[in-house]
Amino acid sequence: MAEELTSVEICAGAGGQALGLEMAGFGHEALVEIEPPACATLRLNRPKWNILEQDLLEWSGKAYKGVDLFAGGVPCPPFSKAGKQLGAEDERNLFPKAIDLIDEIRPKAVMLENVRGLLDAVFDTYRRDVETQLQKLGYTPGWRLLNASDYGVSQLRPRVIFVGIRKDLAEHFHWPVPNELMPPTVGELLKDLMAAKGWSGADEWAARASAIAPTLVGGSKKHGDLIWGQREPVPHGLRWV
């Protein structure tokens, strides 16, 4: 049996990426997240995970030196078209801290995700600077815009993925190839769940939900928490389904 791969994740949120990495065979050594409701969700769903509820800027990764993967979803607002795209000038830009942690931990691989706006021409210099810093640390870097719907997810979810592979391992990495088949529609995917308690309108609903879902837009501390389509407080711990 193959040995389990290890990972450290920063800006873990409520665990979407962490859950995917778990499904891909990674065991989480630590997940760092500053927001209490997100940490409550992580603890509720994975009580055995090592959840570190603290400010990333004050965290050291020395205890996790040499893990297989350093992952995270650093804040998007500095690069989002919905904001001012301040990039390096935005107080929420955590790429510099991420690079410091990569230097400290020296993982075999790095994976960071962000919004598609990061590939805009205005950030060409910024991306080259990130690449140069990772190259100096001994990694082969690359950026790619991936859409979740190309890989079986019934949602339009384009994200920029940054990958850095330690140079002696880089030849073994290949970007995923999109599926040839379209993912199921929202109706096809969720019809059984919608009808689970006997709702008579499930068939009609499924017929109308005949496409993949749009991107679900969240919020930030500066824009409010947009949950369930309206401004509401975030529940303290959400059960994954």
Active site residues: 76
Beta strands in 12-157 (DSSP E): 26-33, 51-53, 69-72, 109-114, 139-147
CA pair distance 108, 174, nearest whole angstrom? 15
Place of tokens 């500053």: 34
Q: Residue 42 class from Cβ within 10 Å (0-12 exposed, 13-18 middle, 19+ buried)?
A: buried
CA pair distance 78, 81, nearest whole angstrom? 9
Cα angle 160-164-167, degrees, rounded to a multiple of 5: 155
Enter the DSSP assignment of 191.
H
Enter the DSSP assignment of 116.
G
How far is the CA of 117 from the CAs of 80, 81, 228, in angstroms?
A: 5, 6, 24
Cα angle 4-45-35, degrees, rounded to a multiple of 5: 100
If one counts every other C-beta atom within 10 angstroms of the C-beta of residue 183, the result is 18
Starting from the edge strand earliest in sequence, which strands make up the sheet with 5-10, in order? Answer: 51-53, 26-33, 5-10, 69-72, 109-114, 158-166, 139-147
